[in-house]
Amino acid sequence: MEINKIKLALGIAASMTIAMPMVAMAAADHEAAMKDQNNWADPRHDYTNQGYSGLTQIKKDNVKNLKAAWTFATGVNRGHEGSPLVIGNMMYVHTAFPNNVYALDLNDNQKIVWAYFPKQDPSVQAVLCCDNVNRGLGFGDGKILLQQNDGVLVALDAKTGAKVWDVKVNDPKVGATNTNAPQVRKDLILTGCSGAEFGVRCHISAYNLKDGSLAWRAYSMGPDSEVLIGADFNKDNPQYNALSVYEDVNGGNKQGGSFKRIPDDKLEIGQSDLGVKTWLKPQAVKDGWQHGGGSVWGWWPYDPRTNLVYYGTGNPSVWNPDVRPGDNKWSMTTWARDLDTGMAKWAMQMTPHDEWDYDGINEEILFDKGGKTYVWHHDRNGFAYTWNAHTGTLIAAQKVHSFVNWATDVDMKTGVPSKLASASTHQDYNAKGVCPAALGTKDQQPAAYSPRTGLVYTPLNHVCMTYEPVESKYVAGQPWVGATLTMFPGPDGVMGGFGAYDPMTNKAKWYNKEKFSAWGGALTTASDLVFYGTLDRWFKALDANTGKELWKFQVGSGVIGNAFTYGHAGKQYVGVLSGIGGWAGVAMNLGLTTPTDALGAAGGYAELTKYNAAPGGGALTVFSL
């Protein structure tokens, strides 16, 4: 045992020689900017990822008087996700591919101070899974950070727009791209990887803010030395490190087979290299974990008190589960890592052996209650999770809506869901009526939390599907999905909703239906308002306590961007990017009409053409009293 520990330690040390020189120091301008409530200086406002602002000028009794203050057309079509940054009198706006950046002077009628136009190979667009989106910018050390779709991370001088440095993070030639917002945490920049639908083994990586050098990289699966897992990983919950959490029923990975949860006291725990050992033979490709997916592209909170950063990993490759038996760790997982070294403190896999593309990639939100810090996560699998942020102990796991029908519940000790055989998917078998659809009960659109109400506010998809895995050969740089889907409204008869939940129980306080998926990210404010946008072009304000709609305005295109707010010259503004796209809108943007096109979105969201011109035109709309 001691020899194995030494070997493990040596392996980690060898893989981290670039990560260890010094403890990172904070980017002072970024931290100062986040403390000023007039700013929106981080993709989700601040380290907590709450999407919450302390501004109160816009209130319940005057929100009905909101009027459009100004607009800015980005000059780019297709889906516009994320939100601008606001630091002082400057606003920084990003676009979909080719990821142009504009610096606007709020003191001078939003005059363009500088613009940056990346020179990206147009062929990159063919390797982007679910539209040409980019989720925003980072700020720190006097730099604006842009993670281009082609894998290049760029640092621009915030005053002039001049390029300071750039570095290649991912290679589109093998299907690895980027859609995430780069996020500054102390003097490191966190960025990730898209490409699970191309058989890429993805990662989260930290680069030094000063010069763009790599600090550390943690892969989503593989040996512990490459996933950055050490001897004290999951020490408070060793049961999360089980070799297998399911036993096969009727053959498991074949038609008619399914999986039964192994009792907690029968789990085999304490083994290393689970990111290899849980990818069993036969695999669709040799050593399937090497092409295992596990994309990382969400928004990632950070707790300076413990130095832990949190994030989720996406689906395993390929979507056909029969050719990758086993739990397929560490896809579909929520992680806590030490920011300085990248070493994992704890992780829990939410959907072991995923059969439905239920990415675990959605954002985590940090909040404090009763002297403790918690992590909340609305997973695409239809469950909302709350953990003790420091230990990873599971506090609550609950379905966000009763229509979720692939599992009955989640074991509170192990986090393992109890799967239903009726929802299992197998090669050349068309599983019908599976809820939710592959885009989950929530996709990229981030939820928000209010420390005033103690509730989380989350956009929802209310969509079910048919799902048929098929044989698919891996070819580097080519799509590798291995499934055919159709999507349709869930039993509520609509395709979306927006709800408020108690994160200590994850039970709903209120729930509003939406005609389409609510694909816009949420904003909460200290005046107990909630803002979000919809695919049929509405931007809405609700009473955070009751869910009552107080105001709405129809913008030029469907909203998949995140609501944000800022203060300038004594006045509060609230805004949102419009420009329909993402998974829900990509088929409409491309004129695809066969129901299975765009992995089922073409059929499920066909009616969007009655509300949107295609392709969606990118624009920023800003409102004030």
Pairing of strands 617-624, 67-77: antiparallel
Q: Which tokens in the block code for residue 83?
A: 């939100």
CA dist 19 and 214 (Å) reads: 8
**φ/ψ (deg, to 5) at 342:** 85, -5
Count of domains forming the chain: 1
In three-state form (DSSP H/G/I as H, E/B as E, the rest C), the secondary structure along 525-558 is: ECCCEEEEECCCCEEEEEECCCCCEEEEEECCCC
pLDDT of residue 284: 83
| The one catalytic residue among 131, 357, 359, 536 | 357
Closest CA to 48 of 507, 374, 383, 530: 374
CA dist 173 and 124 (Å) reads: 8
pLDDT of residue 24: 58
Ranges of the chain whose pLDDT falls below 50? 1-23
Give the CATH number, domain containing residue 577. Answer: 2.140.10.10
pLDDT of residue 11: 36
pLDDT of residue 293: 97
3-state secondary structure (DSSP) of residue 239: helix
Closest CA to 163 of 179, 144, 180: 144
Active-site residue, 211 included: no
Q: Which tokens in the block code for residue 162?
A: 């001049």
Q: Which domain holds residue 476?
A: 2-624
Per the CB < 8 A criterion, the answer to whether 389 and 308 are in contact is yes
Residue where the block lists tokens 């961007």: 561
CA dist 355 and 351 (Å) reads: 9
Per the CB < 8 A criterion, the answer to whether 468 and 429 are in contact is yes
CA dist 617 and 283 (Å) reads: 42
User: Taking every pair of C-alpha atoms in the chain, what is the biggest distance, in angstroms?
Assistant: 70
Helix-strand-coil split of the chain, %, nearest 5: 15, 35, 50
